[in-house]
Amino acid sequence: MAESADDRQAGDERDVALVELEACARLLGIAADRPAYGPDSFARLTDPDGLLGDPAGDSGRQGACILCDALLDRLRNLQQGQFELEDWCGVVRYVFAALRKSRVLVNDVARAEVLVQVLQLFAASGGSEVEAQRRHAELAFVALVLLVNAVASAPLSMRWNAVRLDALVEVVRTATDAGRASALLPFLTTKLESMAERYWTTRMDDSLEASRDADDEPARRRLPLYEAVYRALTSIGEPGGREQHAAPLMAIETGIRLLACAAERGVQLPQEEQYVRDVCLRALLHPRYFRFEPLQQLEAVQRAPLLCRLCRVLAEADGSALREAMTDAVADSDVVMSTLRSHQDEVEAKMRLLMINALCLQAQQMSRAADATHNVEAADAPIDSVPYDAIAAALQSLEGDSMIDDQLVEDWVVLTTRARLVQAKLDQVQRRVRVLSATPLGAGDRREDWRMLNDKLSEWRDRLSDMLSTVQRANHLHAPA
Residue 425 lies in a domain: yes
Give the pLDDT confidence of 367-395 residue by residue, as tens digits: 776 665 655 454 444 568 899 999 999 99
- Reference 202, options 162, 156, 155; nearest CA is 156
Within-domain flag for 119? yes
Say if residues 418 and 409 touch (Cβ distance below 8 Å).
no
Name which of 124-133, 293-302, 457-466 the model is least confident about. Answer: 457-466
Sign of the torsion formed by the C-alpha atoms of 471, 473, 477 and 480: positive
Q: For position 210, what pLDDT does the model report?
A: 43
Tally of domains within the chain: 3
**Cα(63)–Cα(453) distance, rounded to whole angstroms?**
57
**pLDDT at position 218, please?**
58
Listed residue (31, 38, 112, 25) closest to 71, CA to CA: 25
User: Does residue 411 sit in the same domain as residue 460?
Assistant: no
Q: Is residue 251 part of a domain?
A: no
**Residue 281: inside a domain, yes or no?**
no
Q: Which of 382, 391, 383, 388 is nearest to 354 (CA)?
A: 391
Residue 434: DSSP 8-state: E
Mean pLDDT score across all residues of the chain: 81
pLDDT surpassing 80 at residue 327 = no
pLDDT computed for residue 351 by the predictor = 93
- Choose the final residue of a domain: 148, 179, 210: 179
More confident residue, 471 or 67: 67
Clarify whether residues 169 and 119 are in a common domain: yes
Task: Tell me: do 111 and 59 sit in the same domain.
Answer: yes
User: Does any domain span residue 433?
Assistant: yes
Residues 39 and 91 grouped into a single domain:
yes
| Cβ(413)–Cβ(426) below 8 Å | yes
Taking the C-alpha atoms of residue 209 and residue 413, their distance in angstroms, rounded to an integer, is 56
Q: What's the maximum distance between 2 C-alpha atoms anywhere in the chain?
A: 104
Q: Rg of the chain over CA atoms, in angstroms?
A: 31
Query: Is residue 19 located within the same domain as residue 115?
Result: yes
If one counts every other C-beta atom within 10 angstroms of the C-beta of residue 389, the result is 13
Same domain flag for 388 and 469: no
Instruction: Domain of residue 462: give its range.
Output: 449-473
Kindly state whether residues 98 and 126 are assigned to the same domain: yes
Q: Cα 157–159–165 angle (5° rounding)? A: 100
Mean pLDDT value across residues 123-128: 88
In a 3-state reduction of DSSP, which class is residue 25? Answer: helix
Average pLDDT over residues 286-302: 92
Q: In this structure, is residue 263 part of a structural domain?
A: no
Q: 460 with 366, same domain?
A: no
Share of the chain above pLDDT 70, in %: 79
Co-location of 453 and 361 in the same domain: no
3-class DSSP string for 344-390: HHHHHHHHHHHHHHHHHHHHHHHHHHHHHCCCCCCCCCCCCEEEHHH
- What digits encode the pLDDT tens for the residues 29-55? 876 655 566 557 777 777 777 777 788
| Sequence-separated (6 or more) residues with CB below 8 Å from residue 437 | 364, 422, 423
Structural element, H or E, at residue 297:
none
Same domain, residue pair 357 and 463: no
In this predicted structure, the answer to whether residue 313 has a pLDDT above a threshold of 70 is: yes
| Least confident segment among 67-76, 216-225, 338-347, 435-444 | 216-225
User: How far is it, in rounded angstroms, from Cα 41 to Cα 304?
Assistant: 61
Do 91 and 166 belong together in one domain?
Answer: yes
